[in-house]
Every structure is written in C-alpha cells, then in structure tokens.
Amino acid sequence: MSLPLALLLSSALAGLALWKRALTPAGTLLAWAMCLAICRIGGLPAFLILAVTFLATVAADRLAGKRADPSGLRRKSGRRDAVRVLCNVGVGTIMILLYGVTGAPRLILAYAAVMAESLSDSLASKLGPLGKGKTVDICSFHEVGVGLSGGVSGAGSAAAALGAILIGVLCLLFPGADEKVALLVAAIGFLGCLFDSVLGSRIQVKYRCPVCGALTERESHCGVPGKVERGWRWVNNDTVNLLSNLFVAVLASLVF
C-alpha cells in the first residue's frame, strides 16, 4: 500500500478511536503507529482485518456495557491504554514487520491468526456474560463469577468462534489464500482463545476480597486490598493476552 493511503487509513481509524473514546491518547498514538506499519506492509487485507477487529470489539463493548463485568471482578475496564494496545496488537505487528523483511506468506497469516485470537477473546469476554448459562472455570469446571478470567460459557464460546471465523473469512482477501487457509486461521485463533482461558485460570493472579469474599482480578475490592488466592502476582490479564498472542504466532508460523 502506498504511504499516503496508509497514512490516511491509519489516521482515520485512530481518529475514530479517539471519537468513540475507545483508547487513551497514548493508546491511540501507539495504535496509529502500528496501523501505519500494518497498512504499509500488509496492504488493504491486513488493514481490514485490524479495522474489523477494532470495530467489532468497540461494538461488543457498547452492547455489553457493565453487564460484561457486573460484579467488578476484572482488573481493567473502560478505555484501552498503550499497554493493552501493545499486548493485543504488538505481536501481530511484529509478524507484519517480519513479513516485510522476509516476504514469507506464513508470517502474514500468523498476523491474521493473532488478530483472530484477539477478536475471539474480546467477543467472548464481552458477549459471553450476556448469555443465561453458567460460567465455569475452563480447567476445574467449577462455577465462577461472571467476567472472571478463565471462565467459559456457551454464549462466550459461540462469540469466540464467531470472531475467529470472521477473521478467517477476511483471509480470503490475501493473494493465493483459499478456504483451507481461512479455516486454519479461524481454528488457530479459536484455539488461542482457549489457551488464553487456560492461562487465565491457572497462572493469572486472583485476589480474595476480605470483605465480600469475592474472587477478583483487582488488587483491591470493596475499598480494601485483596489477598492473593492463586496465580503468579506478576501475571495479569495483559500478560495473559500477550502470552496467548505469542502462542498463536508461533503455532501459526509452524502450521503454515
């Protein structure tokens, strides 16, 4: 893609993010730089994958609202800062940059798989709580609070599959891509979402609120500091997202 068109598209998407208050100013600046690289090297198909991921995530945010985290169990909510942008798009951007250096098609497909995982995870976490079924821990199958990392539900799994399939279909826009490529990208993205849930269940830090007894990702709840219940203190949701993206990028690079 030409530089003027890449500047136009990345600036338009960044402007939309600011207008919708989806990102902080620092997050918007970082997202703009990443989008510029993605447009310039990956072309229109890569941009559309990023744009659809962003727009679908914002739409899910608006649709779910506070229902996505009714008990305030998540560590972060609201506008995405630079750290969250980096952890969700950084690995995909690295895949695009490596593709620009090597020209290896598997790297741009790895980018697509990473974005499939990001959208899959976002839709699952936002739309899953809107379903009426139970939310259970992906590893223990014990019922957990709605919105807690590591929890899965029927509605969340369906939303995750939809997000992965959507990005898989967009992969058909890449030169030489066929239905098999689209299916593999979707499958790897969905698998990455499940891997994200496993990490959220097993190693992401969780705190026990001494006031209400809730298990939460927040360091404080009910106005008092929580006690570490399980997981590693340095592993939060951003860390899990980054590790999941790395897992998908490596897996996709090997598969393709």
For 131, counting Cβ atoms within 10 Å of its Cβ (0-12 exposed, 13-18 middle, 19+ buried), the class is middle
Range of the domain at 124: 3-195+236-255
In a domain, 154, yes or no: yes
What is the model's pLDDT at position 215?
Answer: 82
pTM of the model as a whole: 0.91
Residue with tokens 């891997």: 195
pLDDT in tens, 194-221: 999 999 999 999 898 888 877 888 888 7
Q: Are 47 and 39 in contact (CB under 8 A)?
A: yes
In a domain, 70, yes or no: yes
In a domain, 200, yes or no: no
In a domain, 214, yes or no: no
Report the b/e string of 216-228 with b at 16+ CB within 10 A. Answer: bbbeebeeeebee
In a domain, 216, yes or no: no
Q: Are 119 and 53 in contact (CB under 8 A)?
A: yes
In a domain, 106, yes or no: yes
pLDDT in tens, 93-141: 999 999 999 999 999 999 999 999 999 999 998 898 888 888 898 998 8
Within 13 Å, how many C-alpha atoms sit on residue 168's CB side?
22
Q: In this model, does residue 70 exceed pLDDT 60? A: no
In a domain, 148, yes or no: yes
Domain count within the chain: 1
